[in-house]
Amino acid sequence: MNRRDRGCERFDDSFEVFLDGELDADATSALETHVAGCEACASELALARRVRAGLRSLPRLEAPAPAVHAVLARVRDQGDRPIWRQWLALPRPAAVAAVAALVLLVVLAFGWIRPRQPESRLALEDPAVVRATLETKLALAHFASASRRVGTGLGRDLLRERALLPLARSVGDSLDGGTVNDDQRAVSAAPERG
Amino acid sequence: MRDVRSRQRRIVIGVLALSLWTSGFAAAAEQPIESHPGYFSLDDLGLVDPALSSVDINLRGAMLRLVGASVLQEEPSLAALVSDLVAIRVLVTPANELRAQQVDTVLGRGAASLEKAGWQRVVKVREADEQVHVYLKEVDGQIEGMTLFVYEPSDELTLINLVGRVDVEQLAAIGQAFDIPTLESALDADPAKTPDPDDRR
Ligand SMILES: [Zn+2]
The Cα of A3 is separated from the nearest Cα of chain B by a number of Å equal to: 6
Q: Is residue A89, in this structure, part of any structural domain at all?
A: yes
Cα(B35) to ligand 1 centroid in Å equals: 22
Q: A1 lies in a domain?
A: no
Domain boundary among the residues A35, A57, A79 is at A57
What's the confidence (pLDDT) of residue A31?
93
The model's pLDDT over B172-200, given as tens digits with 9 standing for 90+, comes to 888 888 999 999 888 888 756 644 444 44
Together in a domain, A43 and A74 = no
ipTM of the complex: 0.80
Say which amino acid occupies A174.
S
Helix and strand numbers, DSSP H then E, in chain A: 11, 0
Give the least confident one: A12-16, A33-37, A148-152: A148-152
- The values of phi and psi at residue B39, to 5°, are -85, 135
CA angle B10, A178, B156 (to 5 degrees): 115
Residues of A in contact with B143 (CB under 8 A): 163, 167
A114 pLDDT more than 50: no
The dihedrals phi and psi of A21, each to the nearest 5 degrees, come to 75, 20
Contact A175 B170 (CB under 8 A): yes
Q: List, as ranges, residues 77-116 from B with C-beta within 8 Å of A.
A: 77-78, 80-82, 88, 90, 92
Domain boundaries, chain B: 2-184
Query: A83 lies in which domain range?
Result: 65-122
**Beta sheet of B142-151, edge-to-edge order:** B55-60, B85-94, B156-164, B142-151, B130-139, B120-127
Burial class (CB in 10 A: 0-12, 13-18, 19+), B178: buried
DSSP state string for B6-56 = HHHHHHHHHHHHHHHHHHHHHHHHHS-GGGSTT---SGGG----GGG-SEE
The answer on A93 and A69 residing in a single domain is: yes
Q: What pLDDT is attached to residue A106?
A: 55
Residues in chain B with pLDDT values less than 70: 1-31, 191-201
Domain-located, residue A83: yes
| pLDDT at res. B145 | 93
What is d(CA B43, CA A187) in angstroms, rounded to the nearest whole number? 29
Residue A81 has a pLDDT of 43
Residue A17, domain member (yes or no) = yes
Inside any domain, residue A181:
yes
pLDDT band, very low/low/confident/very high, at A176 (cuts 50, 70, 90): very low
pTM above 0.80, yes or no: no
Let me know whether A15 and A51 are in one domain.
Answer: yes
Q: Which of A85, A110, A129, A138 is the best residue to mutate to test the B interface, defined by the most B CB atoms within 10 Å of its own CB?
A: A138
- How far does residue B201's CA lie from ligand 1's centre (Å)? 20
Q: Do A182 and A143 fall within a single domain?
A: yes
What per-residue confidence (pLDDT) applies to A80?
A: 43
The domain total for chain A is 3
Q: How sure is the predictor about A16, in pLDDT bands with cuts at 50, 70 and 90?
A: confident
Buried-exposed string B136-153: b where 16+ CB fall within 10 A, e elsewhere: bbbeeeebbbbbbbbbeb
